[in-house]
Amino acid sequence: MGKKKPTSTYDLRSNSEQEERHTMSVIVDNEPGVLARVIGLFAGRGYNIDSLTVSEVEHEKQLSRITIVTYGSPTVIDQIKMQLERLVPVHRVADLTAEFGELGAIERELAIIKVAGKGNQRLEALRLAEAFQAITIDATLESFIFQITGRTREIDRFISLMSHVGLVEVSRTGVAALKRGAEGL
């Protein structure tokens, strides 16, 4: 049994498409359970989440903004956008990457990073932090906590360097994103 791979009669989707990374902004009513609905959609349909942030952004109107970084083939990315739009408490979904391109949207993330060490290692950590324009927000004789803001890739790079000079732990906020220019969504 199971000697050869099953050839499913249902197999419709071609797997040849390249996967892409997309950032989406989702404006939702800040009502109980809304985050669970969004996350449930991703889990139930097998979509990927690289990063997810959520916070109320307009108190009067009770609106929250969810920023999701996801990846998948272009067809899957389209599906994700449409599936999100179909959720009842969702006002608007913008695929920032698709609508405005890599350069059309600003993406920032904040991370705080704890390193511990002595002597040279400690100096090296400080020098690297300076080079990345990270600021020191806590210090003891054996440790620092740095705060860095920037694009995800920069932060990744900073953290990987820190792992050589006594990285202890990291906390990241996830991505916040806006489109460039005068207009809002």
Partner 1 sequence: MQDKISGAEMIIKAIADQGIDSVFGYPGGAVLPIYDAIFQQEEVKHILVRHEQGAGHAAEGYARSTGKTGVLIVTSGPGATNTVTALTDALLDSIPIVCISGQVPTHLIGSDAFQEADTVGITRACTKHNWLVKNIEDLPRIMHEAFYVAKSGRPGPVLVDVPKDIQFALGDYQNLNKIKHKTYNPILNPDEIQIKRAIDLLLNAKKPIVYSGGGVINSGKIASDYLTKFINKTNYPITSTLMGLGAYPASEKNWLGMLGMHGTYEANMAMHDCDVMLCVGARFDDRITGKIDEFSPNSQKIHIDIDPTSINKNIKVEVPIIGDCGKTLKKLLDLLPDNIEKIQKPFTDWWDEIESWRKIDCLKYKKNADVIMPQLAVERLYEITKNYDTYITTEVGQHQMWAAQFYKFEKPNRWMTSGGLGTMGYGLPAANGVQVAHPKSLVIDIAGDASILMNIQELSTAVQYRLNTKVFILNNSYMGMVRQWQQLLHGNRLSESYSESLPDFIKLADAYGATGIRVKSPKDLDDTIIQMIETPGPVIVDCQVASSTNCFPMIPSGRAHNDMLLGEDVPDEVVANAISDDGKVMV
Binding site for partner 1 (CB under 8 A): 1-2, 5-6, 8, 10-13, 15, 40, 43-47, 79
- Count of alpha carbons within 13 angstroms of residue 165, beta-carbon side: 25
**Distance of closest approach, residue 71 Cβ to partner 1, in angstroms:** 14
Shortest gap between Cβ of 68 and partner 1 (angstroms)? 16
Residue 58 Cβ vs partner 1, minimum distance, rounded to whole Å: 29
10 Å Cβ neighbour count for 114? Answer: 16
Q: Which is nearer to partner 1, 2 or 181 (CB)?
A: 2
Tokens 């800040």 locate to 30
3-class SS letters over 138-178: EECCCEEEEEEEECHHHHHHHHHHHCCCCEEEEEECCCEEE
Shortest separation between residue 4's beta carbon and partner 1, angstroms: 9
What letter would DSSP give residue 180?
A: S
CB of 29 to partner 1, least distance (A): 21
CA distance 48 to 75: 14
Closer residue to partner 1 in complex, CB, 46/119: 46
Burial degree of 48 (CB within 10 A; 0-12, 13-18, 19+): middle
- Complex with partner 1: residue 14 or 140, whichever CB lies closer: 14
Q: Which is nearer to partner 1, 2 or 119 (CB)?
A: 2
Q: Of 35 and 161, which CB lies nearer to partner 1 in the complex structure? A: 35
